[in-house]
Structure 1
Amino acid sequence: MRAADSSEGYLKGRLRREDILAAAVATYAEAGYRGSSLREIARRVGMTHAGLLYYFPSKEALLAAVLERRDTEDGARLSGAPGLDALRRLVALAAHNVRHPGIVDLYSRLAAEAVAADHPAHDYFEHHYRMARRFAAASFRVVAERGELREGVDPDVAALNFVALMDGLQVQWLSNSDRVDLVGSLRAYLRGLLTVPLE
């Protein structure tokens, strides 16, 4: 096989993989993980079930790839040192999510399903929330060390509340986006804790 043919085949395979991931996101958002099937996802992409299994050998492998892609995208948006700028990046991530309701819907559905210990994404979400709290707590600690956090505010509690508020607001926003200001509410929470301007 010539190098050009190999490169073209690789590109086609990558594009096909992205098509499958996009179809999986749409299917999970509509039916949840448990209510979806690989056959339905394959049908949406216009391929056979066996063809999809070439790229993702199991339903769990496809779910892992969907979650991994989301983490990669979010990680790029959140990269940087902890502190006030990191808290600003979290608010910016929420603003990004508002512009992409489909992924917020998928995430919220999967997070609720994954409460069950036997769900294939249970360990993922347990790890995800632990890391989210750690990231937020590190930022609140830096803010406290710089005198930018109000006296008496515990950085760990502030982080726990911020992560809970962010996810809880997403669910309420999905239910009633006209009345729930997801980003504005997060900003208001942070302004109540900080001694410096958030913006």
Structure 2
Amino acid sequence: MLRAPFELFSERGYRGTSIAAIAERIGVSQQGLVHYFPTKNDLLTAVLELRGQWDVAQVLRTGDSAPTRLDLLADLVEYNTDRPAIVQVFTVLAADSVTENHPAKPYLQERYGHVRDGVAASLRQEFGEQLPGGLSPEHLAPLVVAAMDGLQLRWLLNPEEVDMPAPFREMLTLLRAAAGRRRLSPSGERSRVKGWAVSMLT
């Protein structure tokens, strides 16, 4: 039932998608659809929450193999290449949300805040309080998030030519080279890496 709103929000955006169009795509009556989702906002919330659940599920599958939090972020970037439809709908809704009174705006503001704080914690875990160039983790974290979003957009526009995970991993390599070290977490700490990532995505 959530596949149809996923597809339509991706194709038309939130405001361009009607309950009638979603019901038609599913193959049910509008009355049948609103029995489960009384409003379009309820459908939007369900779609966004489902995306978050898939992210968490991926962390649980791969978290034990990621030596650091930054490596786990790189794994998630690579995982997104296997689910273009999900990345597309999230990108469309994020762009839509900048308009006035968009219902997804509070959710996305909160999510980006969690992601930014999580990336700052990842940078602090590996590099300490001062990063290359004298930046603090809080100063660099928004740039890392912007790089992730920019790579996603370029990949959606030209997936045949843009290798989304490679530039992100190269950015981490540059950071580590500039810092002059790569501090790997001991194997006993990997469960904490996974636990942190789950909390960041929820």
User: Does the alignment reach a TM-score above 0.5?
Assistant: yes
State the identity %.
Answer: 39
Q: 1:186 aligns with which of 151, 168, 173?
A: 168
- 1-structure distance, mates of 2:172, 2:140: 9
Aligned partner of 1:98: which letter?
A: T
Does the 8 Å contact 1:84/1:139 carry over to 2?
A: no
Unpaired segments ≥5 residues, structure 2: 185-202
**1:177 counterpart (146, 159, 180):** 159
Deviation at residue 150 of structure 1 after TM alignment: 4.5
Equivalent residue for 2:20? Answer: 39
Query: Does the alignment pair 1:144 with 2:130?
Result: no
**Does 1:21 find its partner at 2:2?**
yes
* SS of residue paired to 2:2: helix
C-alpha deviation, 1:197, in angstroms? 8.2
* Structure 2 Cα separation of the partners of residues 183 and 157 of structure 1: 23
Aligned counterpart in structure 1 of residue 149 of structure 2, from 141, 152, 167? 167
Aligned residue number for residue 107 of structure 2? 124
Looking at CA atoms only, which structure, 1 or 2, has the larger radius of gyration? Answer: 1
Q: Residues of 2 paired with 1:150 and 1:122: CA distance?
A: 33
Residues 153-184 of structure 1, C-alpha deviation per residue, up to 9 Å, x if partnerless?
A: 42122211111100111111111122222101
Alpha-carbon separation, structure 2, partners of 1:180 and 1:159: 23
CA offsets per residue over residues 4-29 of structure 1, 9 Å max, x none? xxxxxxxxxxxxxxxx2111101111
Among 112, 116, 119, the alignment partner of 1:133 is: 116
Amino acid paired to 1:49: Q
Corresponding residue of 1:111: 94
Distance verdict in 2 for CA 1:29–1:169, change over 3 Å: same
1:102 aligns to 2:69 (yes or no): no
The structure-2 alpha-carbon separation of the partners of 1:61 and 1:193, relative to structure 1 and needing over 3 Å to count, comes to: same
- Aligned to 1:91, the other structure's residue is in SS state helix
Find 1:71's aligned residue among 49, 52, 57.
52
Cα deviation 1:128-168 (Å, max 9, x = unaligned):
11010011101111112399x64734212221111110011
Q: Report the Cα distance in structure 1 between the residues aligned to 2:156 and 2:118, rounded to whole angstroms.
A: 25
Q: Which amino acid aligns with 1:25?
A: F
1:11 alignment partner in structure 2: none
Pick 1 or 2: higher relative contact order, CA cutoff 8 A, min separation 6.
2
CA distance in 1, matches of 2:47, 2:141: 26
Length, aligned pairs only: 177
Q: Find the residue that maps to 1:39 and give its secondary structure.
A: helix
For 1:191, give the aligned amino acid: T
Q: Is this contact kept in 1: 2:126–2:183, CA < 8 A?
A: no
- Opposite residue 26 of structure 2, the aligned amino acid is V
Instruction: Indicate conservation of the 8 Å contact 1:111/1:125, yes or no.
Output: yes
Q: Conserved in 1, the CA contact under 8 Å of 2:120 and 2:141? A: yes
SS of equivalent residue, structure 2 residue 160: coil
